[in-house]
Amino acid sequence: MSPAEPVLAAGAVCWRIVKGKIRVALVHRERHGDVSFPKGKVDPGESLPETAVREIAEETGLEISLGAPLGTTEYTLPGGRDKVVHYWTAEVDDVTHAASPFVPNDEIEHLEWLSIKKARKALSYAHDRDVLDRFAARVDNDTLRTFAIIALRHGKAMPHHQFDGPDAKRPLLPQGKQDSDVAARGIAAYAPEKLITSDAVRCRQTIAPLSELMGLKAKKTSKISQDAWENGEAEVEKVVAKRLRKGMTAVLCSHGPVLPEIIEQAARLTNSPVDRSVRASAMLDTGAFAVLHFAKERPEAGIIAIEVHSPGR
């Protein structure tokens, strides 16, 4: 890796309700002599969401799923290398907290749950306090609890000129299957509860690894297929509206031409501006996915955050 490339890491502000009050998790790192949020470096082949979930489990024993992103912190390590840490929110319920096998170790001396006010005093670094301030803003405007619509573009498929058959039957290439495996691990970090896919073979093959990983059956439909979209028979608005009403994290696996409508409908139906960031999030590479986050308590608040992840990143 070139010295000019930053070290990438990911973590989360884990939070829970204790006697009606919000508490956030901080870790005391003996080796560094500091107090911070749990986080860690990206392993080769990992996506950032996958890293965040793995690192939280390794450092705290908590098996979490990600909420909305809280942005990044950027700082320079001793020796001059830059480091960029990506953060998300992550709610921890009583069952998850009770199941944590955390014990003090060589890396993490102590794990504690503090109020936002006490956590701000305890944190060792200003950049972590900035992340906490973003978290506190979500608390203040009732947008902390979220669900997501995840728009997934199918993996790289066999080219038209190499396939003798209808477009909907084109299968994934080996690279497409590999990217689908990577996407599955990244999307699993958000713990989706519903999987929906175009009935085209390339989409069904793309969502299959996620279906297996989550133990969820993917519902196939022509309503978000490319054939239906090109024939003016797609029902994108209807599909997206239902997902928004349900208020649970769902994956919609579809095609390059259809994805902009899926994402723009999600924005319009929540009174969010269809601005540059919304349009850019729909320009997905094959095997990539966009995550649109919405507040459970305040759906009228519109899109809380958007993130895009490509295979291997």
Residues 150 and 126 in one domain: no
Which of 82, 109, 140 lies at the terminal end of a domain, its last residue? 140
| Host H or E run for residue 231 | none
Question: What's the pLDDT tens digit per position in 226-263?
Answer: 999 999 999 999 999 999 999 999 999 999 999 999 99
Average the pLDDT over 201-229 and give the result: 98
Which of 120, 140, 160 lies at the terminal end of a domain, its last residue? 140
Residues 132 and 193 in one domain: no
**Whole-number Å distance between alpha carbons of 95 and 101:** 12
pLDDT score, position 160: 85
pLDDT score, position 43: 94
Residues 113 and 242 in one domain: no
pLDDT band with cut points at 50, 70 and 90 for residue 4: low
- DSSP-assigned beta bridge partners for residue 41: 9
pLDDT score, position 161: 87
- In terms of DSSP H, where are the helices of the chain? 48-60, 94-99, 116-122, 126-140, 174-188, 201-214, 226-230, 236-246, 259-268, 276-281
pLDDT score, position 312: 57
Which of 140, 156, 189 lies at the terminal end of a domain, its last residue? 140
**Whole-number Å distance between alpha carbons of 300 and 294:** 9
Residues 161 and 110 in one domain: no
pLDDT score, position 2: 46
In a domain, 1, yes or no: no
pLDDT score, position 297: 85
Question: What's the pLDDT tens digit per position in 149-202?
Answer: 999 999 999 998 888 889 999 999 999 999 999 999 999 999 999 999 999 999
pLDDT score, position 1: 43
**Whole-number Å distance between alpha carbons of 98 and 73:** 30
Burial 127-145 (b: 16+ CB within 10 A, else e): ebebbbeebbebeeeebbb
Question: What's the pLDDT tens digit per position in 57-82?
Answer: 999 999 999 999 999 999 988 888 89
Question: What's the pLDDT tens digit per position in 99-155?
Answer: 988 888 778 899 999 999 999 999 999 999 999 999 999 999 999 999 999 999 999
Distance of CA 187 to the CA centre of its chain: 6
3-state SS of 74-100 is EEECCCCCEEEEEEEEEECCHHHHHHC
Q: What is the mean pLDDT of the chain?
A: 94
CATH code for the domain in which residue 290 is found: 3.40.50.1240
**The pair of three-digit structure tokens given for residue 249, joined into one six-digit string:** 């994290």
Q: Which domain holds residue 161?
A: 146-309
Q: Total structural domains in the chain? A: 2
